[in-house]
Amino acid sequence: MKVNITLIIAIFCLIGFCAIAVIFNVFSIGDLPASFVGAALGAVITGVVTVILLDGQSKAEEIKERNVKVFEKKSAIFSEYIDIVWDTWDDRRVSDKEFQKLIGDYYKKLMLYMCASSAEIIGGQLKAIGEFAGNDDLSEKDQETLQKALINIINTLSDEISLGGHIDPNLFVELGKEVKEAEARSRRSNTSFKMLGINKNTELILKAKPNIKCWTIDEKNQVKDENGEEMSISALASRELERSANGFSEFMLNGKTLFELRGK
């Protein structure tokens, strides 16, 4: 019923439009059919163009959405591979298992998302890494070669996803040395008399001033000087040498510094 009413209203509106157009000489009665045909063709053309534009827009949005999903997946895979590379370098060697993981993920995951040139670069670096796989006794030069290969892989992956950042191999080497020195300092700071097997009341002699002696009073790092004043072994060394000093490297037992006793 509602459709019939709408159709009737539309017909009356059309008749009214035609009557007004003829009365006010907008169109003559003879021109009306041609005008209707022209209007119909215009509506058809407009409809076709609109459909084409909407279809193109829909496809463009689908492509954009697909590209975003691909990039997100690609970034996740690359990030995971970079983590594997870092874990591989953590102990300054590459085990057979770690190398198999690098190779396996390269073929199963990376190659699906990389351009040919990047795949070739990483493949070459993996080949270089393979020469050191399973070797637990790498020389310093071999470690540097291995390190550069791993860095090249990370930098190539960074370029692939346009991160823009690159690891400077020389800076990486310098920072690596700083890390080693920090670890050494940490080990020194944790040295204790108990660790060295030194009992309480053991006499220690200052290397630079053999006339300066002290005696241990606990299992950690506390000593007493010839006047009975108690303090840490480093505090005593710093006081007597008038500079900052680590007592374990300055005091001796049986002709060797305490660090030498530890084998450092």
User: What is the tally of structural domains in the chain?
Assistant: 3
Least Cα distance to 258 among 183, 201, 194, 212 occurs for: 194
> Got the DSSP string for 32-92?
HHHHHHHHHHHHHHHHHHHHHHHHHHHHHHHHHHHHHHHHHHHHHHHHHHHHHHHHHHTTT
Those residues with Cβ within 8 angstroms of residue 132's Cβ, 6 or more apart along the chain or in another chain: 93, 94, 138, 142, 145, 146
Torsion of Cα atoms, 187 then 190 then 194 then 196, to 10°: 30
Q: Predicted confidence band at 68 (pLDDT cuts at 50, 70, 90)?
A: confident
Regarding whether 227 and 157 lie in a shared domain, the answer is: no
Least Cα distance to 94 among 153, 138, 151 occurs for: 138
Q: What type of residue is 227?
A: N
Least Cα distance to 242 among 205, 209, 203 occurs for: 209
Regarding whether 52 and 72 lie in a shared domain, the answer is: no
pLDDT for res 18: 63
Q: Is the pLDDT of residue 109 over 80?
A: yes
Q: Predicted confidence band at 221 (pLDDT cuts at 50, 70, 90)?
A: very high
pLDDT for res 168: 62
Q: What percent of the chain has pLDDT over 70?
A: 67
Regarding whether 22 and 47 lie in a shared domain, the answer is: yes
Stretch 79-98: mean pLDDT:
81
Regarding whether 145 and 85 lie in a shared domain, the answer is: yes
Stretch 167-191: mean pLDDT:
59
Regarding whether 184 and 70 lie in a shared domain, the answer is: yes
Final residue of a domain: which of 171, 189, 207?
189
Q: Is the pLDDT of residue 202 over 70?
A: yes
pLDDT for res 2: 46
pLDDT for res 211: 95
Q: Predicted confidence band at 187 (pLDDT cuts at 50, 70, 90)?
A: low
Regarding whether 74 and 152 lie in a shared domain, the answer is: yes
The token duo for 49 is 């163009």
Q: How far apart are CA 248 and CA 78, in angstroms?
A: 46
Regarding whether 83 and 44 lie in a shared domain, the answer is: no
For residues 250 and 207, is the Cβ–Cβ distance under 8 A? yes
Lowest mean pLDDT among 68-82, 119-133, 165-179, 183-197: 165-179
- Residue 169 has a CB neighbour count (10 Å cut-off) of 15
- List the domain range (segments joined by +) for residue 14: 2-63
DSSP secondary structure code for residue 111 in this structure:
G
The token duo for 110 is 């990376």
For residues 249 and 263, is the Cβ–Cβ distance under 8 A? no
Q: What percent of the chain has pLDDT over 90?
A: 20
Regarding whether 152 and 197 lie in a shared domain, the answer is: no
Regarding whether 32 and 111 lie in a shared domain, the answer is: no
pLDDT for res 201: 94
Regarding whether 74 and 48 lie in a shared domain, the answer is: no
Q: Predicted confidence band at 131 (pLDDT cuts at 50, 70, 90)?
A: confident
Q: Is the pLDDT of residue 230 over 90?
A: yes
Stretch 86-94: mean pLDDT:
76
pLDDT for res 112: 82
Q: Which helix (H) or strand (E) holds 135?
A: none
Regarding whether 70 and 58 lie in a shared domain, the answer is: no
Could you tell me the strand order of the sheet in which 203-206 lies?
230-232, 222-224, 213-216, 203-206, 251-253, 256-257
Stretch 52-56: mean pLDDT:
68
The token duo for 176 is 């690596």
DSSP secondary structure code for residue 15 in this structure:
H
Q: Is the pLDDT of residue 212 over 60?
A: yes
Answer whether 0.75 is exceeded by the pTM: no
Final residue of a domain: which of 160, 189, 218?
189
Q: Is the pLDDT of residue 56 over 60?
A: yes
Final residue of a domain: which of 63, 80, 100?
63
Regarding whether 149 and 54 lie in a shared domain, the answer is: no
